[in-house]
Amino acid sequence: MKDWNYRLAEQRGLILAIAVFTAMFAFYIAKHPAGLTANVATTAANKGVLLALVGMAQTIPVVTSGLDLSVGMVFVLANCVASKIMTGSPLATAFGALAVLAVGILCGAINGAVVVYGRLQPIIATLATGTIYYGLALALRPAPGGDINTDFADAVSGSLPGGIPASLVLLVGVVAVVWIPYRRSVLGRAAYAVGSSEQAAYMSGVPIATAKFLAYVLAGLFAAIAGLLLTCITYSGEASAAIGGSYTLNSIAAVVIGGTSLFGGSGGAIGSIFGAFVLRTIGDLLFVFDMDALWQPLFLGAVLLVAVSLGSFRLLRIKNRLELYR
Amino acid sequence: MLAGIVKRVDPAVLAVFACIVLLLLGGSLYSRNFLSPEYLLQQLNVAAFLGIIASGVMLVVLLGHIDLSMPWVVTIGGMMSTAAAGWGDLGAALAIPFGIVCGLAVGLINGLGVAFLRVPSMIFTLGMNAIAQGLMVLHTSGFAPQDHATRTMHLIAVERSILGIPNALWIWAVVGAAVVILLKRTAFGRRVYAIGNRERAVYLSGVDARRVVVACFAVAGACSAFAGVLLAGYSTKAYQAMGDPYLLPVIAAVVLGGTSILGGRGTYLGTVAGVTLITLLQSILSVVQMPEAGRQITYGALIVAMLLFYGRERLQH
Amino acid sequence: MDDMRVAPLFRMEGVSKRYGGVRALEDARLDCSRGRIHAVLGENGAGKSTLIKIMAGVVQPDSGTMQLAGRPVVFRNPAAATAAGIVCIFQELSLLPDLTVADNIAIANPPRRYGLIDRRAQRRLAEAALARAGAEDIHPLAPVKDLPLSRRQMVEIAKALAQDPKILILDEATSALTAADVAKVFAVLKQLREDGLAIVYISHRMHEIAELADDCTVYRNGGFVATFAAGTKSDEAIVEMIIGREYKSVFPPKPAAKPLGPPALAITELSWAGQLKSISLAIRPGEVVGLGGLDGQGQRELLLALFGVLVGVTGKVEVGGKPVAVASPRAAKANAVGMALIPEDRKTEGLMLPMSVRDNLSFAALERFQQFGLIDRQREAAEIGEVIKLLQIRCDGTDGPVAALSGGNQQKIVIGKWLMTKPEIILLNDPTRGIDVGTKQELYQLLRRLADQGAAILFYSTDYDELIGCCDRVLVLYDGAIARVLEGGEITERNLVASALNLPAAHRHGVPLASVAQAPA
């Protein structure tokens, strides 16, 4: 019985995010003129999963108390690479997909190397590497366009028999195959340890450098998967700084709404998935309420600020003001 | 005498100045124009906009915080001042202060959120950036506002009224001098550095750190908005997302200038150097007619390289 | 003594370590053998902590060798030492606050299945380790950040045991524990000795040493003094070795007459969050009042409560006869109150280490130097010069960073910073921790001089000798309440220890340790 209390307390942020999302989505579906058709679900899922994957990418560096401001640009780069090489025979398409993931991993490895071995602050280092990745994307795709194997794209962005969106299955697959094993691995725990207290982690013999490096590599991988999905949805590639920038910023918002502390050491990617879904549903809600889409950025900002400010209620419980100051 | 000055300057700042000289010399091999006074003044005119934003952002970074609301506060500055100009003569007269005050208000909210609600500045200012964007988007679509810069805005951003030096450069000089005095000669400045080093010690020294934090964010908001006013004057109109291209250059300029992103360390001279370097870098990359893609790659790679060269954290443990 | 020379499990020879210009350890030696508890004794700053950090791979020695089971070893990081079977329980905790107790206990080498962490096995391991440490009351799934300090310390011990060490090092591991926990830990340690572990035990509580140790090694001022078998030397002799001869006349004479007049600071029934319980005290100008007791009985909280740091403090505080409400350090510093607090940790609470001597010294008093909004730098420099002279701070000009100074000089800067505010009431939170003997002596003189000039001083120290030597009166705290007030001749080590453990006061026969230390040889 007591075990459950502790497990629930540990997942409080996640549970809250799930609850908020469920309420919002139920409301959305109830108000939607068409109800929950396969089409509505797939459109909503595709949008949500894109941001969810980028949010997952952001989560891992944040857990180590770092940050990756290049996730959006890796996402854009992967999109442009995919729109170049994922054509032709199924085999060629499959190799193309692997190459896209490899590009993401490479970008992540560069970030990791610069942050861990180059000892640069993640915020400025990844802002700069993000510019490089954007430049590469632009070199590949000076103008929007390109192509992708249509069968593959339809399979990934469409819906399965029974109306289940394929992208949602992809997301669940990524969680099951990458995130959960990582979370339970020694290096996954090391990431939490480093974020919680780097000094104590060092004293406890935790492999700090490897854990941080891997965090950025996985961020690159997740962002690349998202880029792949974007290509499948749009059938093309576009090197857009605006898309990259907004995905980076929204990924941070998704992480925070999903209950992961920006100070590191707690939270997780599953929370960020629901954080991302919450953010995406805000836009949908505006639509069913017949409000102008122009209200969306304002609502996004307000929801984000309210979400993070709610955390300030903990201040009321503080008995020793020294805890407020680093 | 000179050696004494050189000794007291942060080696990082000297390195940036060395890079500036190298860039100019390298550029002059490509075209003689790079060393002409006209070209340099033109670059400094553009650098002034970046420099004014960087002045405020630097204060926030010195505290150990960051201001990610800067892009849309710049836009607010531009759009609100031009909008005010559309409200008749009084509006036109008050256009510039009105734009600045709007930015100051956003900065004030940033500061209150960070200092009193203790929300990490990165996420709070990110949220304020979205709100600022939301407000501007609604403003543009709902009110169809006037977006043309006033005569005065154009005057202070482009023209050269005194000694043939761009007015924007004079303004940057005034803002810069104010920041230098603030940082070097006032109790407030000492507190800014102290908070960046150890906020807990500041609190236990009987200083209300929160007020200092709020004030710095407010100044940063005002500076960004002022730069937005100037940018609107420079390009004769204000438009959405006009601040977006400035985020990386500003943070890069501040950090390259030797200000620690963790706070507590940095000089304004370094920021001036960083701003100049970034502006020249952007200018040269565009002058040599490299395609946009190559420019972005070179730009990012050079920043990483320069940071790796001297901007590393010291090893802990 | 000979049997341990035959085949020590671990031997350290000629090890030295410097931090900047400061000698932390010089030519250190240590032998540990299986099935023995080796006590390392010494004052704060004697080099004990550096010694064990080197053993545990946290810092690397500048010179010297270490051997494990006869083979030379070098530990490049803590993981290497752990792998070799040397596990250390540090004074500053090495726990990860956001992780659960079980995660922490298994952090170094979690049980794995198919390459992933096996949480059930980890849970069993954690439960076993907690049981072995006698801390079954701690839930393995509780996050460490929610545990009180004494429980965290027990988790730390369980974590060390879970790593199945050959050599276990405890650095002041009992300082935060309750008496019941200390008894449990001792039982565990004795059992581990039976099991054949080599244990290195660092403490400056003599009775703990007497109960546990087989061998003792004394360090002083970063240097090795002697190793001997426990029981072969009297307590008096050991104390003499620990503190050295020069310690004799360090304390300035106390004034014969008690200061009269109204109290500068009077508090009545002060309580806070169950950790301070109805504390009342009054300090007159010219008095030095000590706070004693075991570490962690509410002494720090009392000082923080007075200084306006704590929220929800009840009770009455009067300064100069007038009731005051101090809700922040800023209010405490204000002229109407005139309080100063020399905080516990100078590096994180007292100083901005990378900033200059000047910036640090004038920081709390900057308001006084403002003129038309600017700092009057001449006046600032003049006053800083005076303080540097008064405190004999050894620094090369005032532009250099405080980080480059020695611990003693850094502490003087913290004190100097507060003297510049001209305080009437001075609160000190263990100000002599980790500073050299010479500086300590200067501080004792300074405290008395400040008192003579009319300051009221409240002084918490973990070092009983200081309380005995400096204070006119000592309040011994136990569990957040005043257990006993000792005055004048009653302030003896025996009485301090007895009241700290909340035992009935000891009679004043027998030889109190500290008075021996101060007696002429």
pLDDT top residue among C316 and B290: C316
pLDDT band at C514 (very low <50, low <70, confident <90, very high): very low
Q: What is the DSSP letter of C431?
A: T
**H-state helical runs in chain B:** 2-8, 11-30, 37-62, 70-85, 88-115, 121-143, 151-158, 167-185, 187-204, 209-234, 247-256, 268-287, 292-310
What is the pLDDT averaged over residues A170-186?
94
Of B137, B200, B262, the CB nearest to A297: B137
Q: Is A3 on the interface with C (CB under 8 A)?
A: yes
pLDDT at C5: 47
pLDDT at B186: 92
Are B54 and B271 in contact by the 8 Å Cβ rule? The answer is yes
Residue C6 predicted with pLDDT over 60:
no
Q: If DSSP codes are grouped into helix, strand and coil, which group holds residue C65?
A: strand
**Which residues, at least 6 apart from A195, have a Cβ–Cβ distance to it below 8 Å?**
A62, A63, A64, A65, A263, A264, A265, A266, C98
pLDDT at C510: 37
Residue B79 predicted with pLDDT over 70:
yes
Are C153 and C144 in contact by the 8 Å Cβ rule? The answer is no
pLDDT band at C109 (very low <50, low <70, confident <90, very high): confident
pLDDT digits (tens, 9 = 90+) for C30-66: 888 888 899 888 766 678 878 888 888 888 888 888 8
Percentage above 70 pLDDT, chain C: 89
Q: Is C331 on the interface with A (CB under 8 A)?
A: no
pLDDT at C516: 34
pLDDT band at B160 (very low <50, low <70, confident <90, very high): confident
The alpha-carbon gap from A264 to the nearest alpha carbon of chain C, in Å, equals 9
Contact B190 C354 (CB under 8 A): no
Is the residue at A5 inside a domain?
no
Are C38 and C61 in contact by the 8 Å Cβ rule? The answer is no
pTM above 0.95, yes or no: no
Q: Which chains touch A (3 or more CB pairs under 8 A)?
A: B, C
pLDDT at C153: 83
Name the range with the highest mean pLDDT among A269-278, B148-157, C478-487. Answer: A269-278
Q: Which of B187, C271, C330 is nearest to A321 (CA)?
A: C330
Are B246 and B71 in contact by the 8 Å Cβ rule? The answer is yes
pLDDT digits (tens, 9 = 90+) for B306-315: 888 765 554 4
Contact B130 A298 (CB under 8 A): yes
Q: What is the DSSP letter of A164?
A: -
Q: Is A135 on the interface with B (CB under 8 A)?
A: yes
Residue C112 predicted with pLDDT over 60:
yes
**What span, in angstroms and rounded, lies between the C-alpha atoms of A187 and A243?**
32
Of B185, B197, B208, the CB nearest to C352: B197
pLDDT band at C69 (very low <50, low <70, confident <90, very high): confident
* B151-160, C267-276, C283-292: least confidently modelled range: B151-160
Q: Is A291 on the interface with B (CB under 8 A)?
A: no
Q: What is the DSSP letter of B165?
A: B
Contacts of A239 in chain B (CB under 8 A): 293
pLDDT at A172: 95
What is the pLDDT averaged over residues B277-300?
86
pLDDT band at A130 (very low <50, low <70, confident <90, very high): very high
**What span, in angstroms and rounded, lies between the C-alpha atoms of B229 and B79?**
8
**What span, in angstroms and rounded, lies between the C-alpha atoms of A194 and C1?**
44
What is the pLDDT averaged over residues C6-27?
79
Of B241, B304, B316, the CB nearest to A114: B304
Q: Which amino acid is at C278?
A: S
pLDDT at C8: 82
Are C263 and C241 in contact by the 8 Å Cβ rule? The answer is no
Residue C160 predicted with pLDDT over 70:
yes
**What span, in angstroms and rounded, lies between the C-alpha atoms of A321 and B233?**
47
Of A6, A186, A192, the CB nearest to C141: A6
Q: If DSSP codes are grouped into helix, strand and coil, which group holds residue C342?
A: strand
pLDDT at B154: 80
**Which residues, at least 6 apart from C7, have a Cβ–Cβ distance to it below 8 Å?**
C33, C70
Q: At B25, give phi and psi (nearest 5°).
A: -65, -45
Residue with tokens 């605006």: A242
Contacts of B70 in chain A (CB under 8 A): none
Is the CATH number 3.40.50.300 carried by domain C2-247? yes
Is the residue at A294 inside a domain?
yes
Secondary element (H or E) of residue A18: helix A12-31
Distances (CA, A) of C257 to A219, B179, C191: 72, 56, 53
Secondary element (H or E) of residue C199: strand C198-202
Secondary element (H or E) of residue C291: strand C288-292
- Neighbour-count burial of A187, counting CB atoms closer than 10 A to its CB (0-12 exposed, 13-18 middle, 19+ buried): middle
Contact B187 C369 (CB under 8 A): yes
pLDDT digits (tens, 9 = 90+) for A149-162: 888 888 888 888 88
Q: Which chains touch C (3 or more CB pairs under 8 A)?
A: A, B
pLDDT at C91: 66
Residue B7 predicted with pLDDT over 70:
no
User: For chain A, what is the largest distance between any 2 Cα atoms, rounded to a whole number of angstroms?
Assistant: 66
Domain extent listing, chain B: 11-24+31-310
Q: What is the DSSP letter of B162?
A: B
Residue with tokens 């106390």: C254
If you average pLDDT over every residue of chain B, what do you get? Answer: 86
Q: Is C397 on the interface with B (CB under 8 A)?
A: no
**What span, in angstroms and rounded, lies between the C-alpha atoms of A106 and A101?**
9
**What span, in angstroms and rounded, lies between the C-alpha atoms of A70 and A62?**
13
The alpha-carbon gap from C118 to the nearest alpha carbon of chain B, in Å, equals 31
For residue A240, the enclosing domain spans 12-309
pLDDT band at C511 (very low <50, low <70, confident <90, very high): very low
Which residue in chain A has the smallest CA separation from B241? A242
Is the residue at A3 inside a domain?
no
* Angle C44-C440-C172 from CA coordinates, rounded to 5°: 15
- Does the ipTM exceed 0.90? no
Are B53 and B103 in contact by the 8 Å Cβ rule? The answer is no
Q: Which of C464, C468, C424 is nearest to C295 (CA)?
A: C464
Q: Which amino acid is at C20?
A: G
pLDDT digits (tens, 9 = 90+) for B28-54: 887 777 788 888 888 888 899 999 999
**What span, in angstroms and rounded, lies between the C-alpha atoms of B166 and B49?**
12
Torsion of CA B91, B97, B98, B101, to 10 degrees: -170
Name the range with the highest mean pLDDT among C212-226, C247-261, C305-319. Answer: C305-319
Contacts of C369 in chain B (CB under 8 A): 187
Q: Which of C425, C419, C360, C363 is nearest to C391 (CA)?
A: C419
Q: Which amino acid is at C486?
A: L
Q: What is the CATH number for A215?
A: 1.10.3470
pLDDT at C46: 74
pLDDT at C45: 63
What is the pLDDT averaged over residues B15-31?
83
**What span, in angstroms and rounded, lies between the C-alpha atoms of B57 and B26?**
30
Is the CATH number 1.10.1750 carried by domain B11-24+31-310? no
Domain spanning C248-254+261-338+424-521, CATH class: alpha beta
**What span, in angstroms and rounded, lies between the C-alpha atoms of C419 and C5?**
53
Are C240 and C517 in contact by the 8 Å Cβ rule? The answer is yes
According to DSSP, the β-strands at C167-171 and C22-32 are: unpaired
pLDDT at C146: 83
pLDDT digits (tens, 9 = 90+) for A72-106: 999 999 999 999 888 888 888 899 999 999 999 99
Roughly what angle, to the nearest 10 degrees, separates helices A122-140 and B247-256?
Answer: 130
Q: If DSSP codes are grouped into helix, strand and coil, which group holds residue C391?
A: helix
What is the pLDDT averaged over residues B169-198?
93
**What span, in angstroms and rounded, lies between the C-alpha atoms of A203 and C206?**
29
**What span, in angstroms and rounded, lies between the C-alpha atoms of C299 and C317?**
17
pLDDT band at B259 (very low <50, low <70, confident <90, very high): confident
The alpha-carbon gap from C476 to the nearest alpha carbon of chain B, in Å, equals 25
* B67-81, C149-163, C501-515: least confidently modelled range: C501-515
Q: If DSSP codes are grouped into helix, strand and coil, which group holds residue A107?
A: helix
pLDDT at B188: 93
Residue C521 predicted with pLDDT over 60:
no
pLDDT at C176: 65
**Which residues, at least 6 apart from C290, have a Cβ–Cβ distance to it below 8 Å?**
C459, C460, C461, C466, C467, C470, C471, C473, C474, C475, C491
Contact C364 B203 (CB under 8 A): no
Please tell me the total count of domains within chain A. 1
- Neighbour-count burial of A8, counting CB atoms closer than 10 A to its CB (0-12 exposed, 13-18 middle, 19+ buried): exposed
pLDDT at C513: 39
Domain extent listing, chain C: 2-247, 248-254+261-338+424-521, 351-422
Q: Is C333 on the interface with B (CB under 8 A)?
A: yes
